């Protein structure tokens, strides 16, 4: 019996290690390891034929969120843009300057539904969006097309919007 119970000491040490592990794991909020921002992916394209399109690289593009007056500057000669939709409203207005050195731009208004999405206790909430429609001026733009209505942070889906020049 004494020999058997002497082994309790070792398992007691194990439980102390487990206790220390459990306590150390719970001393703070878990880190947020997921993206909390959801972006709408917009691509500028040009039609090569009735069935073929290609990227239309914009020389020095700039998007401006009209209602917050925040300018989004992208790298030169790019056709791909990530735009945040307004979680406080059912629409978001942007101006698009293909070349920020030339004061010609189009205004695009995106209309959508908002859906509150719980990520985790570590990350909190974010908003997903369902695109309805887009209205646009056509100073430089030819047309716009919604290709994917679900703006939910899933990168393995088609771009959400194509803007045709």
The binding site for another protein (CB under 8 A) comprises 1, 3-5, 7-8, 10-11, 14-15, 18-19, 22-23, 26-27, 29, 36-37, 65, 67-68, 70, 72, 84, 86-88, 92, 116, 118, 120-121, 124-127
- In the complex with another protein, which residue's Cβ is closer, 53 or 123? 123
Which helix (H) or strand (E) segment holds residue 71: the answer is strand 70-73
Report the nearest approach of another protein to the CB of residue 59 (Å).
23
Report the nearest approach of another protein to the CB of residue 46 (Å).
27
Report the nearest approach of another protein to the CB of residue 159 (Å).
19
The residue among 122, 120, 110 whose CA lies nearest residue 32 is: 122
The residue among 115, 145, 146 whose CA lies nearest residue 129 is: 115
**Distances from the Cα of 135 to the Cα of 22, 80, 111, angstroms:** 55, 20, 8
CB 79 within 8 A of CB 43: yes
- In the complex with another protein, which residue's Cβ is closer, 25 or 104? 25
């Amino acid at each position: 019996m004494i020999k058997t119970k002497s082994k309790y000491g070792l398992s007691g040490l194990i439980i102390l290690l487990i206790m220390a592990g459990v306590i150390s794991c719970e001393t703070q909020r878990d880190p947020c390891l997921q993206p909390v921002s959801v972006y709408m992916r917009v691509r500028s394209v040009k039609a090569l034929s009735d069935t073929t399109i290609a990227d239309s690289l914009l020389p020095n593009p700039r998007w401006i969120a009209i209602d917050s007056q925040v300018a989004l500057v992208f790298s030169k000669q790019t056709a791909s843009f990530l735009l945040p939709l307004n979680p406080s409203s059912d629409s978001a207005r942007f101006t698009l300057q293909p070349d920020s050195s030339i004061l010609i731009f189009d205004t695009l208004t995106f209309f959508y539904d908002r859906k509150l999405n719980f990520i985790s206790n570590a990350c909190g909430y974010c908003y997903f969006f369902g695109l309805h429609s887009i209205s646009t001026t056509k100073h430089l733009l030819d047309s716009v097309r919604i290709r994917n209505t679900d703006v939910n942070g899933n990168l393995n889906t088609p771009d959400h919007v194509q803007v045709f020049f």
